[in-house]
Every structure is written in structure tokens, then in C-alpha cells.
Amino acid sequence: MPSPYRALFSRPGTTSFSAAGLLGRLPVSMLGIGIVTMVSQLTGRYGLAGGLSATLALSAAVLGPQISRLVDRRGQRRVLRPATLVSLAAIAGLLLSAQQRWPDWLLFVFAACAGCVPSVGSMVRARWAEIYRGSSRELHTAYAWESIVDEMCFIVGPILSIGLSTAWFPEAGPMLAGVFLAAGVFWLTAQRRTEPVPHPREQHSTGSALRSPGLQVLVVTFVATGAIFGAIDVVTVAFAEEEGHKAAASVVLAVYALGSCVAGAVFGLLHLKGHPARRWVVGVCAMAVSMVPLQLMGSLPLLAVALFVAGLSIAPTMVTTMALVEEHVPRAQLTEGMTWTSTGLAVGVALGSSAAGWVVDAAGAARGYLVPGTAGVLAALVAFAGYRRLRPRPVPGAGRTVAESLPAPGVASGERQGEESIT
């Protein structure tokens, strides 16, 4: 491991909470694609599969920021454990309903309740922010490391979820996701020493973090970005099935995440100058351009290569996003602010997976890649339109001014990565 990453874990407790975060985030990459694989195997209906995945994502989008807002006010342990138990019960109900062929509406009810799953990535990043407060270079490395962890989840998660559901039994992937969720959350919340201190008074008086104009731009852009991710998951599974190798979809999606992982590892070693808003816009546009080759793919090997290249722009963009969240959101609402970006992604995943499922059913998998292509164009347009709102500005309670948010020569600006992505 390069020296900046080794130095990152010199503080007590950092290795443990990052490892717990890895386990707790695996369900982000396993649940949605696991539901798509399970339902498509049991019913052959990609429209229903995409709709359920979209319902889960939309529910998480609605409930996630509220859970994180409670975390900012009351602490991670007091909030995350009850929320996780509700989510686990809903996942169990969803699997039972699918296996017993109960009515579709009941599947949607359980998928909606499963949205109580907490944003574990935001909880881990809040701990890094607490430990390395004011240390921009260390924060940059920490957030890049968490981007690597996220992509590791998206490399391993789909392989486990799709592989087990196709080789063992359809419900195996989502079931294992529930096990990882329970283990990760309860391990993380058992580590009290690194848990951020709650801010009940500040949180109550300032209202929602979404009031920040800069955060609004990030969230709206991430709706379109999430649509890219959600659509690619659904269409790739369908494309692999049409090619006669459905299980290979997990490998192709893992290659997509591998590209992001490689880029994130390199990005964490760089000491970049200038305001992160410019890099963020470039990153969003790069994601949009990377969707163009997908429209021309005719085989799984070529698709894997195209997705690897497309993945190179993901992690740097996500890391830069969290630098902007930290700048535009008060520190007392940092967990909520980070979760709102995840919410934008979740809404986009819901829209993208649902739209992709219907396009696949109506016109085939190859045409389904038009969905992420369109979403990429929309993301770039919103990023350009909202760029002015992302310029440096002081935020009451954020703990730094505009001048402080800019790095000194040779010092990287503090940056964070958003999920997932996953998720």
C-alpha cells in the first residue's frame, strides 16, 4: 500500500471502522442487482424486476436523509441499529414473497420497507472527517481510500449476488446481502471511540442541509448520474442473458467497478490545486462521454472493455463531490449532507433501472443502453447550469472560510466520495 494510505491508518480505530464499513456497504452493490437477478429468474419479467429495484432505491432516497439527520442529532449507534433491524425484516419478507409467488403488490411493499437500510458509507466518511478535521491532505487520501472500498464492494458484490443466485438458488444473493448488512452495521456501531459527537441543537436550529444551493446542484446532478448506474446494471444482466451467459454479467459489472477502483487509487495519491468545482464538472462530462461506446457493443468482451474505460471517471468525480459537500454544508449536518448525494444517486438508480427494464422488455438489451446515454447527457447539462452555485463561499458552522477551502501550494483540497453506488 503506498505510504499516504499507510499513514492514514496510523490513528487508533481507523482500520476497524473502515473494515466494518466495507461489510456494511456490500449490500449496496448486492441488493438491487440481486433483486433483478432473483425476480428475472423466478418470473422472467425484467419490467417487474427493474420496478422492484427502483422501489428499493426510491425508498432509500426518501428515508436515507431522515435517518442520517437523526444520526447527526442522536449518534450512529442509537439510530442505525433499529433502522437496520427494520430493513432486515423487510428483506426477509421480500424473499419469502418472491419464493412463494405472492401478489406483486406485496413485493413492492417489502421493497419499500427495505429502504430503511442506512447509508453506511456516509457514516464511515463522517468518522474520517471527525478524525482528520482541518487536515486537507489526509482527508483527500481518506476519501479516496473510501472510494476504493466502494468500488471493491461493486467488484465483489455483484459477483457474489448474481453468482449465488444463478448457481445456488434465486434468493441467495439478496439473503447474503442482509447478512453483510447486519454484520457491518452492528460492528461499526460497536466502535464508540471513533463515533462522531452528535449535534442536537445545531441540527435542530439550522433545518435541512438541502437548503444549501450548492448541495442542491450536486443532488440533482446525481439523480442523472444514478440513472446511469441503475440502467447499466439492468441492461447488462439482460444483455448477458441474450448472449447466453447470464452469470457473466457479474464479471462485466465487476470490470466496470474495477476501472473506478483503479482511478480512485491513483487519484488519492495526487495533490491537486484549484477549486474542486472545476474538476467535478469535468468528471461529470467524462462520465457522459463514456456512455457513447456502449451503444456500439456487440459482445460481452467488448462491453467489458468499454465499461472499464467508463469506470475510470467515476471515483475521481465522487471524491470531488464530497469535497464540495464539506464546503457547502455545515459541519453539524455533514452526515445528512453526504447522504443527500447518495439520495440523488438512489433516485437516479430507481429511474434508470425502471426505465431500462421497460426498454429491454420492449426493444431488447442493445437498445437499453440508450437509457444511460441519455442520463449522461442530462447530468452534464445540469452540471454546467449549476456550476456557479458551486463556487467557493463561507458556510456558517462548516468550520472554514472560502480561503481556507482552497489548498495551499502543494496541498490537496479536502475531498470526499459519495456512494452507492453504488452504492
CA distance 280 to 320: 6
Using pLDDT thresholds of 50, 70 and 90, give the confidence band for residue 381.
Answer: very high
Question: How distant is the alpha carbon of residue 213 from its chain centre?
Answer: 21
In a domain, 400, yes or no: yes
| 280 and 317 Cβ atoms separated by less than 8 Å | yes
Angle at 122 between CA 116 and CA 124, to 5 degrees: 115
Average pLDDT, integer, range 16-33: 88
Judged against a pLDDT cut of 60, whether residue 204 lies above it is answered with: no
- State the pLDDT at residue 308: 93
In a domain, 412, yes or no: no
The percent of residues above 90 in pLDDT, for the chain, comes to 19
In a domain, 416, yes or no: no
In a domain, 418, yes or no: no
In a domain, 323, yes or no: yes
Residue 291 belongs to domain with CATH number: 1.20.1250.20
| Cell numbers standing for residue 153 | 464492494
In a domain, 414, yes or no: no
Using pLDDT thresholds of 50, 70 and 90, give the confidence band for residue 410.
Answer: very low
Q: Based on the structure, what is the number of domains in the chain?
A: 1
Lowest mean pLDDT among 1-10, 233-242, 284-293, 369-378: 1-10
Per residue in 167-183, pLDDT (tens digit) is 888 888 889 999 999 99
In a domain, 287, yes or no: yes
CA distance 342 to 417: 10
- First-to-last alpha carbon distance for the chain, in angstroms, is 24
In a domain, 420, yes or no: no
Judged against a pLDDT cut of 70, whether residue 415 lies above it is answered with: no
401 CB neighbour count, 10 Å cutoff: 12
36: containing domain:
3-405
Sign of CA dihedral 165, 225, 355, 294: negative
Average pLDDT, integer, range 276-292: 89
Task: Enumerate the H helices of 76-135 as residue ranges.
Answer: 76-99, 104-113, 120-131
- State the pLDDT at residue 201: 59
Residue type, 37: T
Lowest mean pLDDT among 79-93, 266-280, 307-321, 383-397: 383-397
